[in-house]
């Protein structure tokens, strides 16, 4: 059976920040864990390019919208490559492929779509309407922006018709929410009574930008039937060849979305209802994470504390960035980034405990002319700390903490045995065992630090030769 994994798709109104990097790494580790378990995985990410905020940002930059979104989408694509993300597809919502699939989904839901005039308080940043008084002084807390009163004729989706089905889906875990307490948040929202929601915007207000509503060029699709449909349009839904869609969505055993806590309502209620309306399979899992702060403060352009993931990779290296995001940031709660903590983890965990152990072992093995046959079975003996990998998915901190306990045990054994004080014959068995244990650590590290894992595996097999440190001293 196949498995589908996706990130949410970020707006391209600005360059990517550490929040997207965090989500991308989380989803990538999950995809790699499943692949290592022998599952057939399709992993997708992409960019949301049709939002009104993208239009506003392009105008502020003095650039045509298409040129603006092209430039920023390319930066997101480059970040995925720089982070070592193993996505199979990268969907852009301005692509012809996406537009075709989004319009097909709309058409399949036609029975639940109607047009009416609506007046409400709207946040461009969230791309959604809110009730009067829902926030203090009607200021959106996510974007520190006063809600705008908007009145216009739009198409609506009859979400209220799916009240019972959505409630049952959540109560029975047909859609499994992780962490579990987010499920109760969704159920509380649903039990208050679901309200129909707007799914289009006038073409005039969108300045001609976005996916045209089928058979009505006066309207453009709005977020939900546009952005949310990316998960299936990335698989060719609506195209002549829908083989990827059939394999990785329609017939998939697991359909997993990795998303931030701020958009769980849209993925746990709106999206399933839209799919029910269209007669398509629902997602099976939502893995939700929190926000990242910087030195304890909310990340904000106005505060000047936006954390650039490209700069982090340049300063600390890919492995350190992936390690920090997987080990230091809680998988489902808010977490914090600080350079001081990054340097601490880099020096203590990566450079000293893992890197130094590998260098010391290889130095002795090279001196003794040791040769290890590729994939040779090596007894772990005293090096095995009994780490179990059958953790609940997304518990990356637990997995890495367990793995680093094993690294510490090997270091302890190395220091107690003092192989440098013995001759080559006496220490041969110990060094070979240590190389074997390090090789296995490399194997277990693969989903988290793929490049580092590969280097460890390569350097602990064949003729062992001296190496440069895996994690050199940093100067930042």
Provide mean pLDDT across the span 152-172: 96
pLDDT tens for each residue of 416-467: 999 999 999 999 999 999 999 999 999 999 999 999 999 999 999 999 998 8
Query: How far apart, in whole angstroms, are the C-alpha atoms of residue 186 and residue 264?
Result: 8
Q: How high does pLDDT run on average in the chain? A: 92
Say if strands 2-7 and 40-47 run parallel, antiparallel, or are unpaired: parallel
Q: Rounded to a whole number, what is the largest CA-CA distance in the chain?
A: 86
Report yes or no: 113 and 199 within 8 Å, Cβ to Cβ. yes
User: By the 8 A CB rule, do 250 and 235 touch?
Assistant: no
Please tell me the predicted confidence (pLDDT) of residue 52: 87
How, if at all, do strands 462-463 and 371-372 pair?
antiparallel
What is the rounded average pLDDT of the residues 334-362? 96
Q: Give 175-197 pLDDT, tens digit per residue.
A: 999 999 999 999 999 999 999 99
Q: What are the structural domains, with CATH classification, of the chain?
A: 2-289 (3.40.50.620), 338-463 (1.10.730.10)
Q: Which residue has the higher pLDDT, 151 or 13?
A: 13
Of 373, 384, 368, 359, residue with least CA distance to 444: 384
- pLDDT at position 301 is 63
Q: Are 236 and 99 in contact (CB under 8 A)?
A: no
Q: Quick check: 389 pLDDT over 80?
A: no
Span 79-99, pLDDT tens digits: 999 999 999 999 999 999 999
Tell me the pLDDT band of 302, cut-offs 50, 70 and 90.
low
pLDDT at residue 392, as a whole number: 52
Buried b (16+ CB within 10 A) or exposed e, 47-85: bbbbbbbbbebbeeeeeebeebbeebbeebbebbebbbb
Of residues 118 and 471, more confidently modeled: 471
User: Rounded distance, CA 419 to CA 407, Å?
Assistant: 17
- Look at residue 387 in the predicted model and tell me its pLDDT: 32
pLDDT of 128 reads: 75
Report the pLDDT averaged over residues 402-408: 96
The owner of tokens 């989380």 is 26
Q: In angstroms, rounded to a whole number, what is the distance separating the alpha carbons of residues 282 and 247?
A: 14
**Please, what is the angle between helix 65-82 and helix 309-316, to 10°?**
30
pLDDT score, position 135: 87
Q: Which residues pair with 156 in a beta bridge?
A: 114, 198
- Considering only CA atoms, which of 301, 335, 337, 332 is closest in space to residue 125? 301
Using the predicted structure, report yes or no on whether residue 379 has a pLDDT greater than 80.
Answer: no
Position 393 scores a pLDDT of: 59
Q: Given a cut of 60, is residue 49 above it in pLDDT?
A: yes
Model confidence at 381: pLDDT above 60: no
Q: What's the whole-number mean pLDDT along residues 143-148? A: 83
What's the rounded Cα separation, in Å, for the pair 448 and 322? 7
Does the pLDDT at position 214 exceed 90? yes
pLDDT band (50, 70, 90) for residue 385:
very low
The two beta strands, 89-92 and 113-123, are: unpaired
Partnered with residue 232 across adjacent β-strands are none
Q: Which residue has the higher pLDDT, 389 or 325?
A: 325
| Pairing relationship of beta strands 297-298 and 292-294 according to DSSP bridges | antiparallel
Per-residue tokens: 39: 């599952």
* Residue 378, pLDDT score: 40
Q: How many C-beta atoms lie closer than 10 Å to residue 90's C-beta?
A: 18
pLDDT in tens, 246-284: 999 999 999 999 999 999 999 999 999 999 999 999 999
Residue 418: how many CA atoms within 13 Å on its side-chain side? 3
């Amino acid at each position: 059976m196949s498995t589908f994994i996706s990130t949410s798709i970020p707006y391209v109104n600005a360059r990517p920040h550490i929040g997207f990097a965090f989500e991308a790494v989380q989803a990538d580790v999950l995809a790699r864990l499943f692949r290592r378990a022998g599952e057939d995985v399709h992993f997708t990410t992409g960019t949301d390019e049709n939002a009104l905020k993208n239009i506003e940002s392009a105008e502020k930059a003095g650039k045509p919208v298409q040129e603006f979104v092209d430039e920023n989408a390319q930066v997101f694509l480059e970040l995925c490559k720089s982070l070592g993300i193993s996505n199979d597809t990268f969907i852009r919502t301005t692509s012809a492929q996406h537009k075709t699939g989004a319009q097909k989904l709309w058409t399949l839901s036609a029975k639940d779509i109607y047009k009416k005039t609506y007046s409400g308080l709207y946040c461009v940043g969230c791309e959604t309407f809110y009730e009067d008084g829902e926030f203090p002084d009607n200021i959106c807390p996510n974007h520190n922006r006063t809600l705008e009163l908007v009145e216009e004729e739009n198409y609506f989706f009859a979400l209220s018709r799916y009240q019972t089905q959505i409630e049952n889906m959540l109560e029975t875990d047909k859609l499994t929410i992780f962490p579990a307490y987010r499920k109760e948040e969704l159920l509380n929202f649903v039990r208050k009574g679901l309200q129909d929601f707007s799914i289009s915007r006038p073409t005039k207000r969108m300045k001609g930008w976005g996916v045209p509503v089928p058979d009505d060029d006066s309207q453009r699709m709005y977020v939900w039937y546009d952005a949310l449909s990316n998960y299936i349009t990335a698989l060719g839904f609506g195209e002549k060849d829908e083989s990827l869609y059939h394999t990785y969505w329609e017939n998939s055993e697991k359909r997993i979305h990795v998303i931030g806590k701020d958009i769980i309502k849209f993925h746990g209620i709106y999206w399933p209802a839209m799919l029910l309306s269209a007669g398509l399979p629902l997602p099976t899992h939502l893995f939700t994470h929190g926000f990242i702060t910087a030195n304890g403060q909310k990340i904000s352009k106005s505060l000047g504390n936006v954390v650039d993931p490209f700069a982090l990779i340049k300063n600390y290296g890919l492995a350190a960035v992936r390690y920090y995001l997987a080990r230091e940031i809680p998988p489902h709660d808010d977490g914090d980034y600080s350079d001081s903590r990054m340097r601490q983890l880099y020096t203590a965990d990566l450079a000293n405990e893992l890197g130094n152990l590998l260098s010391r072992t290889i130095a002795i093995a090279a001196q003794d002319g040791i040769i290890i046959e590729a994939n040779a079975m090596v007894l772990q003996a005293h090096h095995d700390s009994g780490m179990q990998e059958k953790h609940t998915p997304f518990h990356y901190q637990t997995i890495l903490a367990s793995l680093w306990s094993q690294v510490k045990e090997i270091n302890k054994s190395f220091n107690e045995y003092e192989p440098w004080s013995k001759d080559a014959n006496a220490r041969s068995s110990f060094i070979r065992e240590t190389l074997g244990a390090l090789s296995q650590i490399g194997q277990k590290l693969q989903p988290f630090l793929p490049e580092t894992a590969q280097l460890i595996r390569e350097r602990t097999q064949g003729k062992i030769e001296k190496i440069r440190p895996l994690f050199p001293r940093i100067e930042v």
